[in-house]
Amino acid sequence: MTERILAVVAHPDDEVLGVGGTLARYASAQIPVNVIILGEGATSRDTGVGGNVHRSSVPLLVDAAKKAANILGYLPPHHAHLPDNKLDTLPLLDIIRHIEPIIDKFKPTRVYTHHGGDLNIDHRITHEAVVTACRPIPKSIIRGLYAFETLSSTEWRPASTAIPFSPNRFVDVTPQLDQKIRALNCYAEEIAPFPHARSIQAVTALAHLRGASVGLEAAEAFSVIREIES
């Protein structure tokens, strides 16, 4: 069976933070890669008098996602343009309807999405929507379903209030780490200065930590939701 890879994320930049190196690795092996970005990003910052200040950031984020995809080696992502940090206000079925048609058409064999215990509500809802869209019905060709960690969300959720992220699958991204950092730099407005968790230094440090934990120079870590061997 020919591999086909799908990543479904909540916001622009999540695809790079969580799985960018792995997507680049697949793409470099000429394996088809597709990405769905459900939320707009940025617009939840528009609060109070004069709201819509960040509305103009949406096309900039779409462009950043396109540039990041080009660096990582796959086609521009699909954008659902759902409201930022408000996915919990939408019926789950409506969110799933943005995912299922692409699964039906693209026919991925492996799907990556957020950890279900993240602090960010959009990450948690995205996880639920993806797990539902990828339910193991007969004749499904999805053989692997994986959750990734997202710095400044996964590690910020107290372990007492959610299932902690506990990785049991590691992908060597040593050759792709520079690509991942260059792709992340496309989202300059979303990157914070160190020691913020969503900084270039922190992303690089996490890659080295995950790599060192399994004897590699750099890795991305995942928890296996479901994996089928046949």
Mean pLDDT calculated for residue range 200-213: 98
pLDDT band at residue 50 using 50, 70 and 90 as cut-offs: very low
Percent of the chain with pLDDT over 90: 92
Residue 46 has pLDDT above 80, yes or no: no
Domain boundaries, position 184? 5-227
Predicted local confidence at residue 230, as pLDDT = 82
What is the tens place of the pLDDT at every residue in 137-188? 999 999 999 999 999 999 999 999 999 999 999 999 999 999 999 999 999 9
> What's the rounded Cα separation, in Å, for the pair 62 and 76?
9
pLDDT band at residue 61 using 50, 70 and 90 as cut-offs: very high
Number of domains observed in the structure of the chain: 1
51, with CB counted inside 10 A (0-12, 13-18, 19+), is exposed
Predicted local confidence at residue 49, as pLDDT = 43
pLDDT band at residue 44 using 50, 70 and 90 as cut-offs: low
Q: Are 203 and 48 in contact (CB under 8 A)?
A: no
Tokens at residue 141, please?
Answer: 């060709």
> Residue type at 187?
Y
pLDDT band at residue 41 using 50, 70 and 90 as cut-offs: confident
Tokens at residue 86, please?
Answer: 């408000």
Where residue 191 sits, what CATH number does that domain have?
3.40.50.10320
What is the tens place of the pLDDT at every residue in 93-136? 999 999 999 999 999 999 999 999 999 999 999 999 999 999 99
Mean pLDDT calculated for residue range 44-67: 72
